Amino acid sequence: MPVPSLPAELAALRETAVSVLRGNDLGDITRPSPTLYPHQWLWDSCFIAIGLRHLDPQRAAAEILSLLRGQWPSGMIPHVIFAETTDFYHAGPQRWRCDRVTTTAGGAQSTGVTQPPMIAEAAVRVGEMMTDSARAAFYRQLYPGLLRFHQWLYTERDPDDDGLVSLVHSWESGMDNTPTWMEITRPAAPLAVRALRRINGDDALDALRRDSKEVPPDERLTSGDLFTLYRIVRELRGAHYDFREIRRTIVPLVQDVAFNAILIRANEHLTAIAAEIGEVIPAGLRRSMRRSREAIGQLVVDGVYYSRDFRTRTLLRHETIAGLLPLYAGVVPEDRVDGMVKTLTSPRYCARFGVASVPLDDPAFLPRCYWQGPVWVNMNWLIADGLERYGRLDAADDLRRNTVDVIAASGAMYEYYSPLDGSGAGSNRFSWTAALLLDLLATAR
Ligand code: 2M8
């Protein structure tokens, strides 16, 4: 691929991004980070492919197709497909024991939950870089598995035909400790966590955790919350990862606004992929797709989109970045778009480095703590894409420029950035930051 001509400083930054992706390349999958995340993650691989397309479209296609190796007979594509590695990961196969309930298409071990369905978006972006015949061949390989995944999302996770799919763990949302999820999850804290917390806060639990050795604990979720998420995994395991059984447990069930927004956009891409290779989307799925577009309108109050508790159908009134993703889905009525643009560029979301994951005036806001405040490059990318399709080109360009600037100022591919001072946090060799930087540089106007 010809390298776009870039000022020296950005060319060096691009080289750093390429070397991070090479360093995290495990053959035809890319791990999100060499230390924290040594396996394959669903939505990470999608964002990674969107960057890799600028280096090698076939390798990018392989990144996407490799996700099908983890597909369950039910159609689910898991959120983590475990790689053959002895590197430590805190929620590895032993925590899930999915091999007791199913097999995966490629025989790999996996988790028992999914993640935001970014596959169709990534496939279309990669397809744009291919010849017509290579793209058609790629789409033909991907389509049957991708179709089954979208069908599974509705049949398994929208049993009441709401048009919105439900998630069974905050890890499915990808925004692990976002306040919306933590509030609904905390009542499920194990008794021991509650007791220890009473005696000694989270400090007593810190010694027991193993995920925070690489980064300071205050950049991750609290130990109490982490042990609660492990407890939810135990509940899911006991329910054989089957939604009908899960419904009868204490597991929180959330119609997550960001996940459903991503699904709505993915449905459009899936439809385009099918059309290109002469396939017809089954009528049942087409109907679900239509219902989703209508149903997401039930999540908005006074111009703000929220997630909803599946059990009680009450809105979870936490305003977070998740509520901005309907812009990416293209489902925000035109007369509300400018209001949302105003919100995301206001000091509440601190537009200087992109969009804070939690507004600065929220009591839960912490500038360097994971999904509780930091700016994430993938979120900026998604929101900018939505703004562009709404014709808000200046806002989209500003957001993209700010994203490149914040990465450039840090000089490294951080996992997330403080919205207050732009300092990097989490992993400093993080794949999707590297990949999306390549995409932002290649597509800048
Ligand atoms: C984070 O989540 C994993 C669990 O899936 C973890 O904390 O161990 C999240 O940021 C998630 O969105 C991301 O896909 C994953 C890998 O980068 O890390």
Q: What is the pLDDT of residues 142-186, one digit of tens each?
A: 999 999 999 999 999 999 999 999 999 999 999 999 999 999 999
Q: What angle do CA 57, 58, 64 make, to 5 degrees?
A: 90
The pLDDT of 194-217, averaged and rounded, is: 70
Q: Choose among 158, 174, 183: nearest CA to 255.
A: 158
Structure tokens at 140: 């033909």
The arithmetic mean of pLDDT across residues 387-403, rounded, is 98
Q: Which ligand 1 atom is the nearest neighbour of the CA of 89?
A: 8
Residue 317 confidence class, pLDDT cut points 50, 70, 90: very high
- pLDDT(394) > 80: yes
Lowest mean pLDDT among 67-71, 195-199, 234-238: 195-199
Active-site residue (options: 176, 225, 319, 439):
176
The strand pairing partners of 300, in sequence order, are 305
- Find the Cα–Cα–Cα–Cα dihedral 182, 184, 187, 189, rounded to 10°: -40
Q: Are 34 and 24 in contact (CB under 8 A)?
A: yes
* Annotated catalytic residue 415: yes
Which protein residues touch ligand 1 with a CB less than 6 Å away?
Answer: 32, 37, 41, 43-44, 79, 91, 171, 174, 176
Q: Is there a contact between 150 and 282 (Cβ–Cβ < 8 Å)?
A: no
Average pLDDT over residues 338-353: 94
State residue 205's pLDDT score. 67
Which residue(s) pair with 255 in the sheet? 308
17-88+112-166+254-443 folds as Glycosyltransferase (1.50.10)
Catalytic: which of 202, 219, 319, 415? 415
**DSSP-H helix ranges across 109-209:** 119-127, 132-157, 170-173, 179-185, 191-200, 203-206
d(C-alpha 292, C-alpha 176), whole Å: 24
Q: Which of 43, 80, 168, 171 to mutate to test the pocket of ligand 1 (most atoms within 8 A of CB)?
A: 171
Per-residue model confidence (pLDDT) at position 172: 98
176 flagged as catalytic = yes
User: What is the arithmetic mean of pLDDT over 407-421?
Assistant: 97
* pLDDT computed for residue 203 by the predictor: 67
The pLDDT confidence band at residue 215, using thresholds 50, 70 and 90, is: confident
Residue 71 has pLDDT above 60, yes or no: yes
Dihedral angle at the C-alpha atoms of 404, 410, 416, 417, nearest 10 degrees? Answer: -90
C-alpha 55 to ligand 1 mean position (Å): 25
**Domain-by-domain residue ranges, the chain?**
17-88+112-166+254-443
User: Tokens 């560029």 correspond to what residue?
Assistant: 345
Average pLDDT for 29-49: 97
- Report, as an integer, the average pLDDT of 250-269: 99
CA–CA distance, 16 with 323 (Å, rounded to integer): 32
Which pTM was predicted? 0.97
For 242, the 3-state DSSP assignment is coil
As a whole-number percent, the residues of the chain with pLDDT over 90 amount to 90
Quote the tokens at residue 31: 């791990």
CA 176–ligand 1 middle distance (angstroms):
7
